[in-house]
Amino acid sequence: MDKSRRNFLKGLAFFSLALPLKVYPFPKEEKFASFRHGIASGDPTHSNVILWTKLSEVEVKSLIVRWEVSKDKDFKELIIYGKHRTNSTKDFTVKIDAKIPKKYNGRKIYYRFLVGKNISDIGITSTLPIKNPESFNIAFCSCSNYPAGYFNAYREMANNKKIDLVLHLGDYLYEYGSSGYASDDAIKMERIVSPSHEILSLNDYRKRHSTYKKDKDLQLLHSKKPMIAVWDDHEITNDSWKEGGENHSPNEGSYKKRKKNAIQAYFEWMPIREKGIKNRIWRNFTVGNLINLMMLDTRSAEREKQLDIEKYFKKLDFDEQRFFKDLQKPRKLLGKNQFKWIKEKNNNQFKWSIFGQQILIGPKYLPEIFKKVDKKTFPEYLHKYLSLAGTKIPYNTDQWDGYPLERQKFYKTIKSSQSNLVLAGDSHNSWVSNLYNDNRNFVGIEIGAPSISSPNFVDTFGDLVDSIDKSFISSNNDLIWTNGKNKGYVELEVFSEYVDVNFHFVSSVKTKSYKKLKPVSFRVSHNKPLS
The rounded percent of the chain whose pLDDT value lies above 90 is 88
pLDDT of amino acid 529: 98
Q: What is the mean pLDDT of residues 70-82?
A: 97
Residue 326 pLDDT grade (very low, low, confident, very high; cuts 50, 70, 90): very high
Alpha helices of 15-117 — where are they, by DSSP H?
none
**Among 32, 33, 34, 52, CA closest to 42:** 52
Q: Which of 379, 257, 242, 354 is nearest to 298 (CA)?
A: 242
- The DSSP bridge partners found for residue 481 are 432
Dist CA 6 CA 379 (whole Å): 13
Distance CA(506)–CA(486), nearest Å, equals 7
* pLDDT at res. 31: 61
In this predicted model, what pLDDT tens digit does every residue of 438-479 receive, in sequence order? 999 999 999 999 999 999 999 989 999 999 999 999 999 999
- Strands 442-448, 430-436: pairing is antiparallel
Q: What CATH number should be reported for the domain whose range is 132-304+350-357+418-525?
A: 3.60.21.70
- Residue 516 CB contacts under 8 Å (≥ 6 apart), including other chains: 156, 504, 505, 506, 507
Beta strands in 88-164 (DSSP E): 93-99, 109-115, 118-119, 123-125, 136-141
Residue 438 CB neighbour total at 10 angstroms: 10
* β-pair partners for 51: 41, 96
**Peptide bond preceding 195: is omega within 30 degrees of 0, i.e. cis?**
yes
Collapsing DSSP to helix, strand or coil, 477 comes out as coil
Mean pLDDT within 277-292: 96
Q: What is the mean pLDDT of residues 505-512?
A: 98
- Of residues 147 and 373, the one with the higher pLDDT is 147
Please provide residue 325's backbone torsions phi and psi, each rounded to the nearest 5 degrees: -65, -45
Q: How far apart are CA 287 and CA 499, in angstroms?
A: 14
Rounded mean pLDDT of the chain?
Answer: 93
Q: What is the model's pTM?
A: 0.94
Residue 8: predicted pLDDT = 46
Task: Say which range, 5-9, 188-192, 238-242, has the weakest mean pLDDT.
Answer: 5-9
- Cβ(255)–Cβ(243) below 8 Å: yes
The percent of residues above 70 in pLDDT, for the chain, comes to 94
- Is the pLDDT at 214 greater than 80, yes or no? yes
Distances (CA, A) of 124 to 52, 108, 135, 280, 336: 12, 7, 20, 28, 38
Low-confidence winner among 32-36, 159-163, 289-293, 410-414 (lowest mean pLDDT): 32-36
pLDDT digits over 42-51, tens only?
A: 999 999 999 9
- Ordered by start, the domain boundaries in the chain are 21-125, 132-304+350-357+418-525
Cβ–Cβ < 8 Å for 177, 238:
no
For the beta carbon of residue 347, count every other beta carbon within 10 angstroms: 12
Which ranges constitute the DSSP H helices of 190-319? 202-213, 216-224, 255-269
Looking at the predicted structure, is the pLDDT value of residue 11 above 50?
A: no
Residue of 25, 79, 228, 83 whose CA lies nearest to 141? 228
* Residue 100 DSSP label: P
pLDDT at 17: 29
Is the Cβ–Cβ distance between 351 and 499 less than 8 Å? Answer: no
CA distances from 448 to 117, 127, 151, 426, 445 (A): 45, 26, 19, 8, 10
Amino acid making up residue 397: T
What secondary structure does DSSP assign to 155-189, as a single string?
HHHHH-TT--EEEE-S-SS----TTSTT-TTHHHH
Instruction: Tell me the average pLDDT across 261-274.
Output: 98
Per residue in 120-136, pLDDT (tens digit) is 999 999 999 999 999 99
**Quick one: DSSP state of residue 82?**
E
Q: Looking at the domain that runs over 21-125, which CATH code has it been given?
A: 2.60.40.380
> Three-state SS for 127?
coil
Q: Is residue 107 exposed (0-12), middle (13-18) or buried (19+ Cβ within 10 Å)?
A: exposed
At position 341, the amino acid (one-letter code) is W
